[in-house]
Structure 1
Amino acid sequence: MSHPSTTPPDPITPPAETSRLAHFPVTFYAILMGLFGLTLALHAGVPAFPWLAHASSLVLLIGVAILLVVSGFYIAKAMRYPAMVAEEWHHPVKVAFFPTITISLLLLATAIHSYNPMLAEWVWLAGVVGQGVLTIAVVTGWISHRSFQVGHLTPAWFIPAVGNVIVPILGARLGYIEISWLFFSGCLIFWVVLLTLVMNRLIFHDPIAARLFPTMVILIAPPAVAFLAYVSMTGVVDGFARILLNSGYIFAALVVAQVPRLAKLPFALSWWALSFPLAALSIASFRFSQLDGSRAHQTIGMIVLVVLVLVVLGLIYRTGKAIARNEVCLPE
């Protein structure tokens, strides 16, 4: 006669249905990228529209509060269920979202620099070290892994390596010029390589799964942020800077053509991928306007900013609704 097992449940890998914390995803940090991106976009519009300053400060406070909450949950998950974190790390798609943690720190540092330069520098340094380590770790995993399939490749793969381009935006102002050029160079190398791979995947293979299709908007971010980094380091708007900014506009036009399909898709946390690229394009447009005196780019920056605000408000509503319905932190 067999006896029921008296072995206590494994605290490391719990049954999927019993622990929401175990399934708390690293993709929640994409929300922070969106909120801090909105903070910076509102701040970038202040020279033309001074009333945006108060809105920028408010969004920054909200972003910091959510950063603390999200980090608290994810740290608790890492301590309670480390195997679940390891599972995300070895997932071919989710691993690309780990650098959103350090990118959020870099964006936070940039946002708080005007309030507390010393604190901003320490946060920036932590973000730089973390971003460098995660970039090497993720790319090493890519080139040493032999079971990736074409379907695993999405624009989210830009996040680990191309995210390095955020480093120079504040780094140049802090005086870390060579470090800024180092990360900028790494960004450009991987942008060209990954853009080629992603375009090949989009043109010659099956469409991206509906859950991940919103990551298409990430195509806008690399050239827009690269423009900001380049002008931060050089202080000039030359031909190369214009190529970067206009590349962002071209990708934005391609994304606009996908809006009818996006409107039909169900909500998922991947929808937050819409926010930061729009913020980057708005900031880049405002920055070009300030350096070149272009009223047209100031108008573009404001239009994109309005769209960004509407998108973020919609995402906050949909995310809150999904949480209330227990539709997040579920096994996939």
Structure 2
Amino acid sequence: MQIPLKAMLRSAIQATPTPMAGLALGIASLGWCWNNLAGDAATQQWGAAVAAALLLLLAIKFIRYPAILREELAHPVVGSVIPTFSMALMVISNALHPVAANAAATLWVAAVVFHLAFMLSFFYHRAQDFRLHHLLPSWFVPPVGLAVAALTNLTPALAPVAQMLLAFALMAYLVLMPLMIYRLVFSAPVPDTSKPTLAVLAAPSSLCLAAYLQIAEAPSLLLVACLGGLAVLMTLVIYVGFFRLLRLPFSPGYAAFTFPMVISATALFKTAELLQGHALTQAAAEQILQGAQVELMIATGIVVYVAIRYVRHYAGRMHRALHPVELVA
């Protein structure tokens, strides 16, 4: 059966899973993180290009079908990961800066505005129907995800804005973390369909640490030690959790595995760079650098694996949409 081109495109757009924004964020961040080993910006540019292509599909979906966006923002799980779209835009703006600084700054500001709008909309809906069992690690994404703005900003005039956003992200993390632990320990078990969001637990401390080291002129070693220790601990917990999480049936929520692993490696690279500047901590810096390299390898494997699963999943959905089974009398 021949399907018109317009119908094919509509099916392709509608079949695009919104959590794919998290994969775009993971890919863009991975390319950037590889700069620590590659020594040039090529990997960052390639990662940003792939991420931009994925975000373009989602942008078309949101513009063409705004009702879907409104519905998903009201969802307790999907709504919490929509801000990964704006976070990915921030990372892309960082990659764009060397070739088009003004365009990069404009994109960064737009991404921050989008993120704030997504965050306010999500928490408005959650305030209307709050239930403790709805609280999931992905809820860190809207408020703490603003730290990506501090991590990616390269425009000096916007530095005060980036600092305020990081301060907000840190406070949000301090408030949400005890509530999250209480929910995970004392409330209903996380359903299998939402368990991929558990990987997000590895992200907030690493993201806050990386962003803090990016913008702080004289970082507090005490704060770095606290955030760094928590970041490594949570990352190790998720490494162990992968023995169960990767056995779950595939869903677009697998995208939650990507960015937390990448930002954990990024935080260690930045910590090693800081400690290399102090004579008394150079030995520790070398050990942390080796740990960062190991984490980068693991993050690369996770991102590649999830990307392959996404391609297979998306191709399967497209095939079913374009080749419906015809019933034979």
Normalising by the residue count of structure 1, what TM-score does the alignment of the two structures yield?
0.83
- Offset from partner CA, 1:204-252 (integer Å, 9 cap, x none): 1232111221211111111111112212222334211221122111111
Indicate yes or no: 2:31 matched with 1:39.
yes
Tell me the residue number matched to 2:293. 302
Which residue matches 2:212? 230
Question: Within the alignment, does 1:55 sit opposite 2:43 as a pair?
Answer: yes
Answer yes or no: is 1:27 the counterpart of 2:19: yes
Structure 1 residues 142 and 282 mapped into 2: Cα distance closer, same or farther (>3 Å)?
Answer: same
1:281 aligns with 2:272: no
Distance 1:328 1:191, change over 3 A: farther
Deviation at 1:199, TM superposition (A): 0.8
- The alignment partner of 1:92 has SS state of coil
Q: Are the aligned partners of 2:86 and 2:112 in contact in 1 as well (CA < 8 Å)?
A: yes
User: Which residue pairs with 1:88 in the alignment?
Assistant: 72
Q: Is the 8 A contact 1:106 1:124 kept in 2?
A: yes
Residue 126 of structure 1: CA displacement? 0.8
Partner in structure 2 of residue 13 of structure 1: none
Q: Distance in 2 between matches of 1:265 and 1:200?
A: 24
Equivalent position of 1:272 in the other structure: 255
Kindly tell me the number of residue pairs found equivalent between the two proteins.
303
User: Do residues 115 (structure 1) and 99 (structure 2) align?
Assistant: yes
TM-fit CA distance, 1:253: 1.7
**What SS does structure 1 have at the residue aligned with 2:243?**
helix
Q: Check 1:224–1:108 CA distance in 2 against 1; reply closer, same or farther (3 A cut).
A: same
2:52 maps to which residue?
64
| Change beyond 3 A, Cα 1:328–1:75 | farther
TM-superposed CA distance for 1:54, in Å, is 3.5
Q: Out of 162-171 and 264-273, give the one that drifted further.
A: 162-171
**Residue 173 of structure 2 corresponds to residue 181 of structure 1:** no
Question: Structure 1 stretches (4+) deviating beyond 6 angstroms?
Answer: 327-330
What runs of 5+ residues in structure 2 fail to find an aligned partner?
1-9, 277-284, 322-329
Cα offset, 1:99, TM superposition = 1.4
Question: Once superposed, what is the RMSD of the aligned Cα atoms?
Answer: 2.4
2:191 corresponds to 1:212:
no
Which secondary structure state, in structure 1, belongs to the residue aligned with residue 145 of structure 2? helix
The yes-or-no answer on 1:311 pairing with 2:302 is: yes
Conservation of the 8 A alpha-carbon contact between 2:207 and 2:263: yes
Taking structure 1 as reference, are residues 279 and 328 closer, same or farther at Cα in structure 2, changes over 3 Å only? Answer: farther
Alpha-carbon spacing, 1:89–1:55, altered in 2? closer, same or farther (3 Å): closer
User: Are the counterparts in 2 of residues 41 and 283 from structure 1 also a CA contact under 8 Å?
Assistant: yes
Cα distance between partner residues in 1 of 2:120 and 2:133: 23
Identity percentage over the alignment?
Answer: 21
Alignment of 1:250-269 (within 5 A): 250-269=233-252
Q: Displacement of 1:260 after TM fit?
A: 2.1
Matched residue, 2:138: 156
Name the residue aligned to 1:248.
231
Task: Check whether the contact 1:168–1:183 (CA below 8 A) recurs between aligned residues.
Answer: yes
Gapped runs of 5+ residues in structure 1? 1-17
TM-score by length of 2: 0.84
Q: Please say if residues 21 and 77 of structure 1, whose CA atoms lie closer than 8 Å, have aligned partners that are also in contact.
A: no
